[in-house]
Structure 1
């Protein structure tokens, strides 16, 4: 009994130990990799990704052998792998022909051979993993052609060996450029060695010194960097753009060189290290694999380099975490195996059920732990994805802000250019007829030239500030005198617009150390904004106070303008900022530069918005906060602009006539809707010699147009108020009262979409800068066309008008009038007020509308309509004169006879008799 029990316990223990070993055992695989060279960073990255991927599989042993650029050594390495009977051999061939026999030998021995990155001139291999090098060359060529230059000159730096990447990248590149007539390959250099490349490329640049070179296409990024150093040495780095291949991440990699501007672009060339290990495992698991596994490539330029770098950094970080987790799992598995063996052996002397129960509990714990690890990993991936999305959104927002900035600056520049060109054109036309007129035109040119200079200086200041190139040159000034001098510049504008512009200070003498140029720009930016957004009859105040306790000076700029929305206050001093209530064009960098300039003086600036806007500047007194280099002994200062708003006699006020022709002939009324006061004044003064001119800045334009019913409307697109020029024009064209008025859109928007939109609404679309002669000719052409249309209506009023009622709003209007008159023709009490009520417009608007369309008053029109119908009844009916008079709304037969005689030169009876006699004679 004792023997049997002892035998059972021993057998059970041996079985438990065997079972433990059986469970822990797993089939091992050996994979060898013959690397052609490990000198380049790209090859090192390939080796690293292979090691990381292989470490994920605990049953895989990976051995890397470096051939050190020797085909002989690579053959020896593969022979060694065959002798070791490795399960899979991965080869990155140095040469396409030398390795064919030894690779064929490995295949004959039943070993899978996978080619990585490079191919051999034989089909005797299991699979190939790598990017399509022909496609890489084609991508580079297509990227260059996408820039759209009329003529492109290229220098090619090819790989120095006979490997497939060296041959195919050049082949793919030539497949594209050789078909393009506008592409000129100036030189193709083969990289035999580094010294040869440098000398040959230097000689090429010297020989093509006078020839423009647009692009240099390089075999890889390392070669591209060497080429860039030579180009920079020759001083041609700004004109020659370099395209590389590899797109490695990290210091010195292709992505970093793209971000630094060394390379124009690089073609991402994946190493394939991770993919080839996965393919090897698929082969060892007897899975079907493709003969060629082609990896995707893409172009990396300045627009996606940051995103690619962020993604690859995250991937690299994940690889490091995976490597660490694999090591921890390996240690944990080793510990787990030891614990499991002890448990199996100890529980072998007790009950099998208890052993299984303990194992089950342990398995549950392990599964939960792994699940937690997986959840943590998933959370990390989600966080990384959100971060990448956030970065992409920030890049998109930054791009949109820059587009808005340059669009705003472009619009700001176009109006001064228009005024300058128009003033010059006017001077040429008038020559030297009137001295005073020329002085006014020259003043306009001078002012807008200075405004352009101010805008350009703002752009340059923004660039200098972004590059950190501003240096303070502080000198002592009297701040009160300085402020008074600046205020003189804006005084003319304040008087013209009736703005209460004042300066307040209890101090008699305030001395301040500052950079006068910077402080002047601060004043101009804040005052320009105040005048831009403060309405006429408003107020602007500058106040200066001294805080002796805190040793600082406070300068306040307060206006009664439109203010800044509370939710947007935090973005006021950011570049490209534009408030949601700002309908005017602006660059968005003035306040940003203001804050930066104040910061360079160790001061602060704050903004408050209540019943207008107040900017408060605090500057420290004395000069202790400046370094010795920042203090200047220079005295005196020439102001940036002598007169930003020169006083020009304004001949108009909103809603009043600018000019009027006092002759007896008909004078047309032109409605000018433009928010730029100078442009309005200029156009109004020029057109006022021939037309009656009405002006609006957009705020009350709708009411003025409906009240006056002008003969023609000239409307800008960007206006004050809630509506733009497109919306106003569409409103006028759809409204019955104004639909007949020709409209000219006058705008700085020169894009195709705006042009099509404008022509779909208005009658003409003129872009700034424009010629005054073209504007004048456009007005005359539209008025002439309206006269032709008026003639057509008057000639066809009672005949063919109703036959063509569809498709023309004015014709429909006249038909509607005819129908209302016809329905009330026998009502002698029916008058013009009744007709206006039926049409839902006022009597005055009806009068202006009919007068504009037909050239006669509405009363004359109704009377003529009644007489024309009576004339037809005299011809076609036997009714007596009295019956015809009453049926056509005349109060008495005598009144009808008098009206008929005045219109046709004979009485109704005489007309009927003449028609009867004529009929008998016929």
Structure 2
């Protein structure tokens, strides 16, 4: 039956794919381009004609959608409308700017967002656009001038009616008209007025100069509307109808230039194409990724009585064709709908027929295969039973092997305590030895603290194994928990005073008798207090509070430390979990062990925390002894001696808090510097003190602090732990090696991860060396010296011969790019005597201090020395190979005077420039 259903599923999948393909075709058919068209004003005839041409051309592309907006001559409104189109997700923007400067930013915004922009008629103040479509106003004006010259046969007077003062079309048409009349010196422009592109304003301005119109042979207006007004004024003044009136636009339709030329209102009109058709054509070339021209200058011609009828005929034909296209488009859409409906019916019919045949065949096939399938199932069941038995046997063996490993692990943990005891006793003798203490006290205390740390970890591991195997047995007794807590707090007072932390006990009664195992509960409280002291900053406060009711007693430890992140709260009691955001790391066993010990007491432990405000751990114990078994109870009180020994294990690591390293401001600054990044303060201070003998040392205990110190100090070498709070050693290395300010610094990674894969992973982060903990200090020192020596050899090799064409042998690509950029900037500015280090810093994009340190590290010289060396080498080359005078060479290489140049040159090469030049000339 599985085979049958499998084949049935395959058939259904095939038909599903057929439907999906059909849906994809439908989606493809319905996919459209959205075109935004922003027009500065749509009320005048020329702009209306532009919009009609846009719609006519769009009718040839039925898959396109047009979003149109008319700004009505308001630039601010046009900017807002264009922004709304961009936010709607248009595919291309076509814009006819009202003004160049105000519309430039929105055009650049669309262009920078990857939306193609086509500008019509007027350009913006920037070249950030995809294409321009428009006529050349200068050429149109020139054509009008040439036509006027021919029409007047080279003699006569002209009045020029111009558009809006200061607008680019007005300026260009006026300039072109004057250019066209240059061939006809007998023609003069006797007067000029501004009609502001309007018929009414033109009439008012011409009436003011009506006396000068009596001697006019022609009037040239910058558009047909002003030309129409000019003819009206001439007729009102009853001046000769022989006066020629020439306009610009030649628009079709009612009231357009073509009609006015045809009815002899105008003598001629120069065609000023709107560009609507060409803009849409260019838009689809861009959207379809075809080749297109960025600058599309439209052609023009003069229309007069000789060709006006032909132009009108062509326009009427275009209009008729447009109506036919729209009518055919409507019929095509109707046919598409009919075709899709018929296709759906056909598909359903075919699928139904095929499924009927398939199901009939499958039913027959199922009858024939049923017996064979049942036999196969019986065989499979037997095989599964055999495999299950084998798995049970293997699980038993694996459990026994695991138990053996854990027993070995537990036994080894017990064995560790003996050598640790043998280390601890002689060590304490050495610490108390007055002869040895002055010489090795610091190192002995460091060993002493870490021995107790190992002892604490081993004790926790042994307790963890006991709990896991139910071998941790309670031995409870009745004790005053208030006095018990006071004794524990007394053990932590010394550690708290070291950091000036105030530990306060708050209780609602001085005596509260509770049944508990003193040797277990002290571990819980010790762990909570130890954590609180670790995370509470200096001058902080810790509250230990005890309250009780009729059934339970509650003990809480609250600090004002950094708190715990919300995402880590639910994991704090898990085995081996370590928070990633805290600078102080632990083993991950303490809190999980505390949780298990509280479960043995039939109590509970909870945590409350707010990030950057502190953490509160609460313990709940039941009153009375009814919840304990009889064999768990014993008589007696807590032993203060045992309590003291347990306290030493938990407080030893807190007593030697790392002290800040005080730098002597009067000491000699060492030549080379090392930045050490390590979250273990003991190891951090140990390495800092050791390296301080030979190097300038900087310390950081987190990855983020290390990155900041690297940028600020720019050390010669960095030693970093791989596992760090904040940024890890690997991410720190990748960031510093990819930054031009620090890419040259060698980095050594320290890690407890010793596998080959982990070492390769560390080296792939561009680290220069990878050393596994525990490491030999002498080997670490040798590695540091080797890396610094190699860096010095690389630097000396490059500085030994700096040429204008040679490439620096820098192994790191980022350092090579920095040297190339730096050398190129200096080379380009050698002749600039005011060239300064600040200009190089600004050009490269780093601070002045970082530039000095970077150049010093890579080239072994200061920036000013490098610039001076390049100037002298360039001067030396010019003296040998060119025939410039010494004064000319002085200024070519950026010296302020020949005398200063001569002095510097002599100090470098041992002779003055004139003497050097003579030694290079043949005898």
Structure 1 residue 895, shift from structure 2 partner:
2.1
Distance 1:755 1:303 in 2: 39
Distance 1:645 1:806, change over 3 A: closer
Structure 1 residue 484, shift from structure 2 partner:
4.7
Match of 2:615 in 1: 613
2:751 to 741, 747, 751: 747
Given that 1:480 and 1:510 are in contact with CA atoms closer than 8 Å, whether structure 2 keeps it comes out as yes
What SS does the corresponding residue of 2:698 show, helix, strand or coil?
strand
Does structure 1 residue 450 correspond to structure 2 residue 452? yes
Structure 1 residue 707, shift from structure 2 partner:
0.9
Structure 1 residue 523, shift from structure 2 partner:
1.9
Distance 1:749 1:538 in 2: 37
Does structure 1 residue 633 correspond to structure 2 residue 636? yes
Given that 1:450 and 1:641 are in contact with CA atoms closer than 8 Å, whether structure 2 keeps it comes out as no
Report 1:594-743 matches (<5 A): 594-611=594-611, 612-621=614-623, 625-629=627-631, 630-633=633-636, 635-636=638-639, 637-638=641-642, 639-642=645-648, 643-648=651-656, 650-652=658-660, 662-663=667-668, 666-698=670-702, 699-721=704-726, 723-743=727-747
Match of 1:589 in 2: 589
Given that 2:716 and 2:746 are in contact with CA atoms closer than 8 Å, whether structure 1 keeps it comes out as yes
The superposition leaves residues 122-158 of structure 1 with CA deviations (integer Å, 9 ceiling, x where unpaired) of: xxxxxxxxxxxxxxxxxxxxxxxxxxxxxxxxxxxxx
Distance 2:495 2:894 in 1: 60
Structure 1 residue 595, shift from structure 2 partner:
1.9
Distance 1:570 1:853, change over 3 A: closer
Structure 1 residue 600, shift from structure 2 partner:
2.4
1:830 to 832, 835, 838: 835
Distance 1:482 1:815 in 2: 72
Given that 1:551 and 1:621 are in contact with CA atoms closer than 8 Å, whether structure 2 keeps it comes out as yes
Distance 1:730 1:877 in 2: 48
Distance 1:447 1:480 in 2: 30
2:761 to 738, 757, 760: 757
What SS does the corresponding residue of 2:655 show, helix, strand or coil?
coil
What SS does the corresponding residue of 1:671 show, helix, strand or coil?
strand
Distance 1:857 1:284, change over 3 A: closer
Structure 1 residue 517, shift from structure 2 partner:
1.9
Distance 1:793 1:703 in 2: 29
Distance 1:651 1:879, change over 3 A: farther
Does structure 1 residue 464 correspond to structure 2 residue 466? yes
Structure 1 residue 433, shift from structure 2 partner:
9.6
Report 1:196-207 matches (<5 A): none
Structure 1 residue 502, shift from structure 2 partner:
4.5
Match of 1:474 in 2: 476
Distance 2:796 2:882 in 1: 31
Given that 2:583 and 2:701 are in contact with CA atoms closer than 8 Å, whether structure 1 keeps it comes out as no
What SS does the corresponding residue of 1:910 show, helix, strand or coil?
helix
Distance 1:672 1:299, change over 3 A: farther
Distance 2:374 2:769 in 1: 75
Structure of higher RCO (CA pairs closer than 8 Å, 6+ residues apart): 1
Distance 1:487 1:853, change over 3 A: farther
Distance 2:918 2:845 in 1: 43
Structure 1 residue 550, shift from structure 2 partner:
4.1
Match of 1:910 in 2: 915
What SS does the corresponding residue of 1:700 show, helix, strand or coil?
helix
Given that 2:478 and 2:515 are in contact with CA atoms closer than 8 Å, whether structure 1 keeps it comes out as yes
Match of 1:383 in 2: none
Does structure 1 residue 847 correspond to structure 2 residue 849? no
Given that 2:453 and 2:653 are in contact with CA atoms closer than 8 Å, whether structure 1 keeps it comes out as no
Given that 1:538 and 1:561 are in contact with CA atoms closer than 8 Å, whether structure 2 keeps it comes out as no
Distance 2:580 2:519 in 1: 31
Given that 2:798 and 2:809 are in contact with CA atoms closer than 8 Å, whether structure 1 keeps it comes out as no
What SS does the corresponding residue of 1:891 show, helix, strand or coil?
coil
What SS does the corresponding residue of 2:851 show, helix, strand or coil?
helix
Gapped regions of structure 1 (runs ≥ 5): 1-277, 310-394
Match of 1:556 in 2: 557
The superposition leaves residues 737-773 of structure 1 with CA deviations (integer Å, 9 ceiling, x where unpaired) of: 1111110001111122220021222111011111111
Structure 1 residue 649, shift from structure 2 partner:
7.1
What SS does the corresponding residue of 1:694 show, helix, strand or coil?
strand
Structure 1 residue 468, shift from structure 2 partner:
1.2
2:797 to 779, 792, 795: 792
Structure 1 residue 617, shift from structure 2 partner:
1.0
Q: Please report the TM-score for the alignment, with normalisation by the length of structure 2.
A: 0.50
What SS does the corresponding residue of 1:736 show, helix, strand or coil?
coil
Distance 2:374 2:628 in 1: 74
Distance 1:604 1:501 in 2: 23
Distance 1:900 1:775, change over 3 A: same
Structure 1 residue 724, shift from structure 2 partner:
0.5
Given that 2:580 and 2:725 are in contact with CA atoms closer than 8 Å, whether structure 1 keeps it comes out as no
Match of 1:766 in 2: 771
Given that 1:793 and 1:801 are in contact with CA atoms closer than 8 Å, whether structure 2 keeps it comes out as no
Structure 1 residue 718, shift from structure 2 partner:
1.2
Match of 1:382 in 2: none
Distance 1:488 1:748 in 2: 36
Distance 1:298 1:548 in 2: 58
Match of 2:126 in 1: none
Given that 2:578 and 2:586 are in contact with CA atoms closer than 8 Å, whether structure 1 keeps it comes out as yes
Q: Please report the TM-score for the alignment, with normalisation by the length of structure 1.
A: 0.51
The superposition leaves residues 233-286 of structure 1 with CA deviations (integer Å, 9 ceiling, x where unpaired) of: xxxxxxxxxxxxxxxxxxxxxxxxxxxxxxxxxxxxxxxxxxxxx99976999x
Distance 2:546 2:688 in 1: 44
What SS does the corresponding residue of 1:802 show, helix, strand or coil?
coil
Given that 1:660 and 1:690 are in contact with CA atoms closer than 8 Å, whether structure 2 keeps it comes out as no
Distance 1:455 1:511 in 2: 31
Gapped regions of structure 2 (runs ≥ 5): 1-367
Given that 1:493 and 1:645 are in contact with CA atoms closer than 8 Å, whether structure 2 keeps it comes out as no
Structure 1 residue 644, shift from structure 2 partner:
2.8
Distance 1:873 1:483 in 2: 88
Given that 1:658 and 1:688 are in contact with CA atoms closer than 8 Å, whether structure 2 keeps it comes out as no
Report 1:199-348 matches (<5 A): none
Given that 2:563 and 2:610 are in contact with CA atoms closer than 8 Å, whether structure 1 keeps it comes out as no
2:524 to 518, 522, 538: 522
Match of 1:18 in 2: none
What SS does the corresponding residue of 1:450 show, helix, strand or coil?
helix
What SS does the corresponding residue of 1:750 show, helix, strand or coil?
coil
Q: Once structures 1 and 2 are overlaid, which stretch shifts more, 541-550 or 592-601?
A: 541-550
Bigger-Rg structure (1/2): 2
Report 1:108-187 matches (<5 A): none
Report 1:25-36 matches (<5 A): none
Distance 1:809 1:908, change over 3 A: same
Match of 2:786 in 1: 781
The superposition leaves residues 98-144 of structure 1 with CA deviations (integer Å, 9 ceiling, x where unpaired) of: xxxxxxxxxxxxxxxxxxxxxxxxxxxxxxxxxxxxxxxxxxxxxxx
Distance 2:559 2:474 in 1: 27
The superposition leaves residues 788-830 of structure 1 with CA deviations (integer Å, 9 ceiling, x where unpaired) of: 1121111132277427578643333222211101111111121
Given that 1:713 and 1:742 are in contact with CA atoms closer than 8 Å, whether structure 2 keeps it comes out as yes
Report 1:275-424 matches (<5 A): none
What SS does the corresponding residue of 2:708 show, helix, strand or coil?
helix
Structure 1 residue 650, shift from structure 2 partner:
3.9
Does structure 1 residue 869 correspond to structure 2 residue 874? yes
Distance 1:300 1:683 in 2: 58
Distance 1:501 1:901 in 2: 75
What SS does the corresponding residue of 2:741 show, helix, strand or coil?
coil
Distance 1:820 1:696 in 2: 35
The superposition leaves residues 701-757 of structure 1 with CA deviations (integer Å, 9 ceiling, x where unpaired) of: 212110110111011111112x11000011111111111111000111112222002
Distance 1:910 1:305 in 2: 96
Structure 1 residue 633, shift from structure 2 partner:
2.4
What SS does the corresponding residue of 2:676 show, helix, strand or coil?
strand
Distance 1:444 1:308 in 2: 45
Distance 1:297 1:603, change over 3 A: closer
Given that 2:514 and 2:623 are in contact with CA atoms closer than 8 Å, whether structure 1 keeps it comes out as yes
